[in-house]
Amino acid sequence: MKITCSKSDLLASLNIVSKAVSTKTTMPILECILIDVYSDRIKLTANDLELGIETSLKGNIVEMGRIAIEAKIFNDIVRKLPDSEITIESTPDYKTIIRCEKARFVLSSKSGEEFTELPEIEKEKKITISQFTLKEVIRQTIFSISDNENNKLMTGELFEVKDGKLTVVSLDGHRISLRNIKLKDGGDNVSVVVPGKTLSDLSKIINGGVDDMVNIYFTDNHILFEFDETIVVSRLFEGEYYKIVSMLSMDHKIKVEVNNREFLDCIDRASLLIKESDKKPIIVSIKDDNNMYLKVDTFMGSMNEEIEIDKEGEEIIIGFNPKFIMDVLRVIEDDKITIYMRDAKSPCIIRDAEENYIYVVLPVNINAGAY
């Protein structure tokens, strides 16, 4: 195998596939990137058996072949080479020679035949959305997945296609994030749980263009994202996702409309007095004078602030983890948001009129009489 290509093209492709290189494995081949050269194509592939990524690279093909190179050293070398043309050549005794200007590296490699190929995915159940929409929906939900590996389903996100609509849901036991996307071309009904790591890695490699599309294919065990010259294949989590309908349709007694930016800035200021180890809540008081009063009291100090609101319903004093509220407010683009509450112990719901987004945040137990 022998190819020549630009450093910038090679580095961009390595940055894409490296997301699927295993960092904790007893199988050395999973720490490698496969270079597979056809008659008209240079393909890079990485596969950790849970996530696999394949992308094509522009370059000049001198000799066909395939070789697997240890990913970390390959990345490090390419990154530090001059911004010039790079030649990569493999030898029959599994050595890889990398040349760039006056630099020459010789690396031990592995046979490409040892590499585990990506699974073949049946392209039957499919939806198509823009890269911008996919990147945004991941950004607007990924923050509320759980990092507790003891509950796998909570470390993933539900992707459900039904009646021409894609619903994406994440939850961690304290909050729920839900986004609804209308699909132009409909799609087969499907419900799968995608690992959060897959979605996080995917959001880093798609360009987010409004006019650039992503084809998403579903099978019983895998999901495939196909875009530009790249495919991303991931295993799905087994099991049925949580039923959240009852929490989303909760009857409310209080409805509040507030400026999103003002609310976010106020909570952000209040959180300066709250250390993570404190776990002190921010206290929100809503009275009949169309004001929301926010209060924080910690060993570092206290803060009080008020914000004008439009209110319907009863008075309430309720406590929240400020981070949970700020995470939601940061991903909502609307100037004004609508908050629905029932009482100090029931979930708080933030949603728009069309229910394009729904966020649920559980309150913190407080002694309302103390405030």
281 and 309 housed in the same domain? yes
**Residue bearing the bigger pLDDT, 187 or 160:** 160
CA 25 to CA 20: how far, in whole Å?
Answer: 12
Could you give phi then psi for residue 52, rounded to 5 degrees? Answer: -130, 140
Q: Report yes or no on 318 lying in a domain.
A: yes
pLDDT for position 369? 65
Q: What is the mean pLDDT of residues 177-198?
A: 93
For residue 66, what pLDDT band results from cuts at 50, 70 and 90?
very high
Query: Which DSSP symbol is given to 233?
Result: E
Domain check: are 161 and 93 in the same one? no
Q: Can you tell me the distance from the alpha carbon of 81 to that of 243, in angstroms, rounded to the nearest whole number?
A: 52
Instruction: Give me the domain span that covers residue 354.
Output: 247-370
Instruction: State whether 272 and 210 are in the same domain.
Output: no
Q: Judge if 161 and 52 occupy the same domain.
A: no
Same domain, 186 and 135: yes
Q: Which of 177, 201, 235 is the last residue of a domain?
A: 235
CA dist., res. 211 & res. 230, Å (int) = 16
Domain assignment present for 304: yes
- Please state the φ and ψ torsions of residue 145, each to the nearest 5 degrees: -85, 160
> How far is C-alpha 183 from the chain's CA centre?
20
Could you tell me the pLDDT band of residue 249, with boundaries at 50, 70 and 90?
confident
Instruction: Answer whether residue 242 is part of any domain.
Output: no
The reply to whether 131 and 110 lie within a common domain is no
Asked if residue 180 lies in contact with residue 160, where contact means CB atoms within 8 angstroms, the answer is no
Please say which residue of 85, 114, 143 terminates a domain.
Answer: 114
- Considering the domain architecture, whether residues 110 and 159 belong to the same structural domain is answered as no
Q: Is the alpha carbon torsion for 320, 322, 323, 327 positive or negative?
A: positive
Give the DSSP letter of residue 335.
Answer: S
The answer on 231 and 252 residing in a single domain is no
One DSSP character per residue, 113-152 reads GGS-PPPP----EEEEEEHHHHHHHHHTTGGGS---TTSG
Would you place residue 274 in the very low, low, confident or very high pLDDT band (cuts 50, 70, 90)? confident
Residues 100 and 134 occupy one common structural domain? no
- Buried b or exposed e, range 191-227, using 16+ CB within 10 angstroms: ebbbbbbbbebbbebbeeeeeebbebbbbeebbbbbb
User: Looking at the domain assignment, is residue 240 inside a domain?
Assistant: no
300 and 322 part of one domain: yes
What is the SS3 assignment for 290? coil
Indicate whether 119 belongs to any domain: no
**311: Cβ–Cβ under 8 A, 6 or more apart, which residues?**
254, 255, 256, 257, 286, 288, 290
The pLDDT, as a whole number, for residue 371 is 61
Strand partners, 313: 254
Per-residue pLDDT at 31: 96
State the residue for tokens 């199988």.
Answer: 27
Domain count, the chain: 3
Among residues 91, 114, 137, the one where a domain terminates is 114
Task: Look up the CATH number of the domain holding residue 346.
Answer: 3.10.150.10
Domain assignment of residue 120, yes or no: no
Amino acid at 12: A
175 lies in the same domain as 284 = no
- 241, part of any domain: no
Query: Bigger pLDDT: 367 or 51?
Result: 51
Higher pLDDT: 7 or 150? It is: 7
Q: For residue 22, is it within any domain? A: yes
Residue 260 and residue 344 in one domain: yes
Q: What is the pLDDT of residue 349?
A: 96
> Measuring CA to CA, how many Å separate 346 from each of 175, 275, 277, 283?
12, 25, 25, 15
- Rounded to 10 deg, the angle between the 7-17 and 71-80 helix axes is 150
- Which pLDDT value is given to residue 327? 97
112-168 pLDDT, tens per residue?
Answer: 999 999 999 999 999 999 999 999 999 999 999 999 888 999 999 999 999 999 999
